[in-house]
């Protein structure tokens, strides 16, 4: 069954299915099931799965899965590129528009809350900023130290600085780069109005929220599987590119830990234990985010089953029948 727009003369109905949840929760299986059932296209909303270099460590869909339904925005960027929420939103909206143009149902799936929030609720219209600005400010932060860097930023942009943690390097540099590149601080841009979803776009949000003990066990077992699938060689190849340590791709769970193993400072068992712990911590943060930031979700806390599948398919059917008259 294909997704449809509202009939001619009516306001456009642009349905989008969101399948969200923490890492290793099972959301990819649901997205694939819905894509098969509703002539859907799966659009990635995971900040690490956009990178070509992280096929294994990001648990990107394999060939058997991509053969069953179209997948978009997986492995589309080089690790040398930074993918912001704004950049991802532009790419996702283009893919969503293509789906609607072709009569297909866009199914956006992933666990990066900032990306999903930018799509669903909008984002401040901050212009793209050249990487050289960030590189310069990163060097300044290292030279001045956090206290002096924050003091300088507070003097230049007190409204933005009032909401910053002086110890958070990433947020300090982001605030400083926006100010330097645009002449206005983040507080100004956030007050300038949001870039909202296109008119007529409607979202049905599913969110996997498994019991924590089940989720943590899946996290542990999945990292073991990643080792078997070639994660060590993947990290070896990534490190050979000599990318800056603050590159988003270098922050993927497993890169630092397996990098330490390859450098000889950790045993493989130690690296696995640390990576599994970081995966569990990341999953916990994701659970917390979805619990508080996506209140109008359809929560899925049961094991995947035929009964559950039937219920979720019915919810999608009902949603697709809500086109405005």
- Annotated binding-site residue numbers: 21-28
Binding site for substrate, by residue number, is 23-28
Residue in 116, 113, 77 with CA at minimum distance from that of residue 96? 116
Query: Rounded to an integer, what distance in angstroms lies between the CA atom of residue 159 and that of residue 36?
Result: 49
Binding site for ATP, by residue number, is 21-28
Query: Rounded to an integer, what distance in angstroms lies between the CA atom of residue 258 and that of residue 250?
Result: 11
């Amino acid at each position: 069954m294909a997704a449809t727009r509202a009939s001619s003369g009516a306001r456009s109905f642009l349905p989008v299915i969101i399948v969200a949840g923490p890492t290793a929760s099972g959301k990819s299986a649901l997205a694939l099931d819905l894509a098969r059932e509703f002539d859907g296209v799966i659009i990635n909303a995971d900040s690490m799965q956009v990178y070509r270099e992280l096929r294994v460590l990001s648990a990107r869909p394999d060939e058997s899965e991509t053969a069953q339904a179209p997948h978009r925005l997986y492995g589309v960027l080089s690790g040398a590129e930074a993918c912001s929420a704004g950049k991802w939103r532009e790419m996702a909206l283009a893919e969503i528009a293509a789906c609607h143009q072709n009569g297909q149902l866009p199914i956006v799936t992933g666990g990066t809350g900032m990306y999903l929030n930018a799509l669903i609720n909008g984002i401040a219209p901050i212009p793209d900023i050249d990487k050289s600005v960030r590189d310069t400010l990163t060097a300044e932060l290292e030279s001045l130290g956090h206290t002096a860097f924050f003091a300088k930023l507070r003097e230049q942009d007190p409204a933005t600085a009032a909401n910053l943690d002086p110890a958070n390097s990433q947020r300090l540099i982001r605030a400083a780069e926006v100010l330097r590149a645009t002449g206005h601080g983040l507080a100004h841009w956030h007050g300038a109005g949001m870039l909202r979803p296109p008119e007529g776009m409607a979202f049905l949000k599913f969110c996997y929220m498994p019991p924590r003990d089940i989720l943590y066990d899946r996290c542990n077992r999945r990292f073991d599987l990643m080792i078997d699938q070639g994660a060590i060689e993947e990290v070896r190849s990534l490190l050979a590119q000599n990318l800056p340590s603050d590159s988003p791709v270098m922050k993927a769970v497993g890169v630092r830990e397996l990098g330490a193993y390859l450098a000889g400072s950790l045993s493989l068992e130690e690296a696995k234990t640390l990576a599994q712990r970081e995966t569990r911590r990341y999953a916990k943060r994701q659970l917390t985010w979805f619990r508080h930031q996506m209140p109008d979700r359809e929560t899925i806390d049961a094991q995947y089953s035929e009964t559950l599948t039937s219920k979720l398919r019915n919810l999608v059917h009902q949603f697709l029948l809500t086109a405005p008259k």
